[in-house]
Amino acid sequence: MTSAARPGALEGLKVLDLTHARAGPTCVRQLADMGADVIQVASPERGDLGGSDAHNLHRGKRSIAIDLKSEAGYEVFLRLVSEADVLVENFRAGVKHRLKIDYETLSAAHPRLVYASLSGFGQTGPYRDRPGYDQIAQGLGGLMSVTGPPGGGPWRVGIAISDTAAGTFLTQGVLAALLARERSGRGQWVHTSLLESMINFMDFQATRWTIDGVVPGQAGNDHPTVFPMGAYRTADGYINIAAPTDWERTARALEAPELAADPRFASHRARLENRSALQAAIEEKLATRPSREWVEILNRADIACGPVLALDEVFADPQVRHLEMTAEVEHPDDETVALLRLPLTFSETPASVRGPMPRGGGHTREILAEHGYSTERIDELVDSGAVATETRPVRWPGA
């Protein structure tokens, strides 16, 4: 039996997905990969991210299109809620209260529901109604102030890190709330935001301020507090070296034992104070060989070292290939697509990419029938516009 055919850890869990963009769908994607039955509640009038983003974020779901503003559509939604374990949403606070899909309204009738919310800046506070995007959170959360070369001005990280962090934290919250429900019999509201998650991901840089009173600055490719640990030029490119402890062994492996005896580099503090000189000395040695040779030499000496790869090189790397980081699925419109798998391995309940992304509203009739609607009533709902069997396409930039 293939992993996709075997029950996942969340087999039998029913999830309603009211999310869009990236952070919310990241949470739902993880639940789907772990075996949850996810129903995407789409708007007939609003599409979502397209292209490779959509394939990656929305795989493994089914989709129903509901006009939540209509009375009949809202009644359909409430029936879905009555059979759901989890609801995930990322509406602004005012919108979800206007639509009557907020936690207080739904939990009053369905106290076992785990209601998960994701926002830009939090459910309360002076910024609660502001629109939020990853780069805004990167700046507000301090990440851009410590990224990039010293004196280079603010630099964004090359991925939507606060989106991914927030979605992953929300997954953890959902799983913990489900475990708590096993004890109490009650669901609860769990929520996070791009800003909270971004600040938490600042980790040791944040506590350098909260505990040590130090405002961290930019350190480029160097580790801010340990040296040598960073990216170094070789004869044909760059490698990363992390040698925080055994400097003498590192110097020998670099074929430069004289560096270990140099008083400018004799202690950790001295190496930090003279990092520019040490960087130049290390790169002078590294210039004698290509990156591949240095990676082998340093790893044989038990010094952490690795290449700096472009993404095509990443997926050609032998260890990455061994880990099988992608899974191929068939999509009726785009044929075979390779998607990133969940980076977790379960010995008994495997995670897997369980299907392609759905067409918006493509499972409307199927889902309604499962929830007790007759063929005649489904036809009436479709004809009235309360539900739809497809959504209006929206072209996002870059899609």
What pLDDT does residue 50 have? 75
- Looking at the domain 14-201+321-388, which fold is it? Rossmann fold (3.40.50)
What pLDDT does residue 1 have? 37
Helical segments of 305-347, H only: 311-314, 318-323
Of 17, 53, 102, 163, catalytic = 163
Q: Which of 287, 257, 259, 256 is nearest to 274 (CA)?
A: 259
What pLDDT does residue 122 have? 96
- Looking at the domain 229-233+238-307, which fold is it? formyl-coa transferase, domain 3 (3.30.1540)
**Coil, helix or strand for 220?**
coil
Domain ranges of the chain: 14-201+321-388, 229-233+238-307
pLDDT mean values, one per 10 residues, the chain (399 residues): 72 97 97 98 82 92 97 98 98 93 98 98 95 97 97 97 98 98 98 98 98 97 94 98 93 96 95 95 98 98 97 98 96 86 97 94 97 98 97 64
What pLDDT does residue 45 have? 87
Does residue 163 carry a catalytic annotation? Answer: yes
Two domains, one topology: 14-201+321-388 and 229-233+238-307: no
∠ CA 394-398-399, rounded to 5°: 45
Residue 318 to residue 324: CA distance in whole angstroms = 10
Residue 314 to residue 399: CA distance in whole angstroms = 23
What pLDDT does residue 393 have? 67
